[in-house]
């Protein structure tokens, strides 16, 4: 027994020996079974590990059957080929290990960036608050009329002041008896709520118990109100007289000018009051005095 017999042959060597025994070339086998000559050579040299197992087994089986190798031997060759472990190659480069200095630099950079962002955010917020306060003071000193949102805030503050003023109103005045008790209480209430009015201006207050159309313009033709006021609402206005006033559904409207209630029945027709103040009121009072 020679040394060759002591060393088991691989699957490729078995196929190559069977081909040489039949005196066949790789080109002849390639042409006969339709496989590339290079693939057959790689199978014989055991260098076809790059092929998927399903293709590897199919090529070996076709090659062995062409060489008329028995089926049981073919199965042994396939088992021998399957028992070979494919080489595992690392396709990813090993990342370099970071040293302690690199980690410290990264942590320090993160902390400094966080402090910088926090400082910038604080400065931006502080500057925005300062500009907002300066703008508010400038608006008050220059007499600029606030926008709708600011006017709503002012109305809300006035509503709050009404509640406080009501608590300090004299109880004797609010609960006086007689037919004029309602008017007296409302006049006292209105007197408590008269805000500080600039020189040359007048204050108008309107309360509606039902939806009413209200139009008010001042001497400069500036529209103080031109809208439908919902029932239960209260609004205050100020401007330079004389005012032109139109009130729809006048029976549901209570009007106060400089804290004094106005009797709208004298200026109403078909439940619509249309007059000017102070001209119409002064003319009406003069007529009553002459009588």
- Tell me which of 163 and 196 has the higher pLDDT: 196
- State the DSSP H helix or E strand holding residue 269, giving kind and residue range, or none if neither: strand 268-269
Burial of 243 (0-12, 13-18, 19+ CB in 10 A): buried
On average, the pLDDT of the chain sits at: 75
Give the residue, 76 or 124, on which the prediction is more confident.
Answer: 124
Residue 130 in any domain: the answer is no
Q: Residue 273: which CATH number? A: 2.60.40
- Structure tokens that stand for 211 in this block: 């939806």
The rounded Cα 189 to chain-centroid distance in angstroms is: 45
Rounded to whole angstroms, the Cα distance separating 254 from 274 reads 14
Residues in the chain: 291
The reported pTM is 0.32
Residue 49, classed as helix, strand or coil, is: coil
Alpha-carbon span 237 to 4, nearest angstrom? 118
Decide which of 82, 112, 145 is a domain's last residue.
Answer: 82
- Given a contact cutoff of 8 angstroms between Cβ atoms, the answer to whether 10 and 46 are in contact is yes
Most confident of 42-56, 128-142, 157-171, 205-219: 205-219
Domain boundary among 39, 67, 82: 82
Could you tell me the two tokens for 79?
A: 């088992």
Which residues, other chains included, contact 232 with Cβ-Cβ below 8 Å and sequence gap of 6+?
Answer: 208, 209
Examine the fold and report which residue of 82, 97, 122 is the final residue of a domain before the chain moves on: 82
Report the distance separating Cα 59 and Cα 120, nearest Å: 70
Q: pLDDT category, 163, cuts 50, 70, 90?
A: very low
Residue 248: inside a domain, yes or no?
A: yes
| Domain-located, residue 286 | yes
Q: What are the residues whose beta carbons fall under 8 Å from the beta carbon of 30, sequence distance 6 or more?
A: 36, 37, 40
In angstroms, the CA 257 to CA 261 distance is 7
Q: What is the CATH number of the domain that holds 67?
A: 1.10.260.40
Give pLDDT, residue 168.
Answer: 44
Average pLDDT, stretch 98-113?
86
Note whether residue 13 is domain-resident: yes
Q: Is residue 243 part of a domain?
A: yes
Pick from 211, 184, 212, 204: which is nearest to 257 by CA? 204
- Give residue 236's pLDDT: 93
Q: Does residue 65 lie in a domain region?
A: yes
- Mean pLDDT of the region 168-194: 52
- Residue range 226-242: average pLDDT? 91
The answer to whether the bond into 58 is cis (omega within 30° of 0) is no
Give the range of the structural domain holding residue 10, as residue numbers without chain letter. Answer: 3-82
pLDDT at 10: 83
If one counts the domains in the chain, the total is 2
Q: Per-residue confidence at 232, pLDDT binned at 50, 70, 90? A: very high
Give the C-alpha distances (Å, rounded to integers) separating 196 from 3, 115, 192, 199: 123, 49, 11, 9
pLDDT of residue 116: 92
Q: To which H or E segment does residue 202 belong? A: strand 202-208
Q: Which of 123-127, 128-132, 181-185 is predicted least confidently?
A: 181-185
Do the domain assignments include residue 192?
yes
pLDDT at 209: 94
């Amino acid at each position: 027994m020679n040394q060759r017999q002591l060393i088991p042959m691989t699957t490729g060597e078995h196929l190559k020996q069977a081909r040489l025994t039949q005196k066949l070339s790789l080109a002849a086998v390639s042409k006969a079974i339709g496989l590339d000559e290079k693939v057959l050579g790689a199978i014989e040299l055991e260098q076809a590990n790059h092929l998927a197992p399903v293709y590897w087994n199919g090529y070996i089986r076709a090659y062995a059957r062409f060489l008329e190798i028995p089926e049981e031997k073919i199965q042994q060759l396939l088992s021998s080929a399957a028992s070979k472990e494919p080489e595992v190659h690392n396709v990813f480069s090993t990342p370099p290990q970071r040293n302690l200095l690199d980690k410290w630099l990264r942590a320090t950079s993160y902390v400094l960036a966080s402090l910088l962002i926090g400082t910038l955010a604080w400065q931006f917020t502080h500057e925005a608050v300062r500009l907002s306060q300066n703008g508010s003071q400038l608006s008050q000193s220059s007499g600029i009329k606030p926008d709708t949102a600011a006017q709503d805030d002012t109305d809300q503050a006035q509503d709050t002041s009404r509640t406080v003023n009501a608590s300090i109103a004299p109880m004797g005045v609010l609960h006086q008896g007689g037919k004029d008790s309602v008017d007296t209480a409302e006049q006292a209430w209105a007197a408590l709520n008269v805000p500080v009015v600039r020189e040359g201006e007048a204050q108008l207050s309107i309360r509606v118990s039902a939806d009413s159309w209200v139009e008010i313009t001042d001497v400069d033709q500036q529209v103080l109100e031109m809208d439908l006021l919902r029932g239960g609402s209260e609004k205050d206005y100020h401007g330079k007289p004389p005012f032109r006033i139109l009130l729809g559904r006048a029976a549901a409207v209570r009007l106060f000018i400089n804290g004094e209630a106005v009797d709208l029945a004298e200026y109403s027709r078909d439940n619509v009051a249309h007059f000017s103040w102070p001209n119409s009121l002064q003319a009406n009072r003069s007529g009553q005095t002459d009588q």
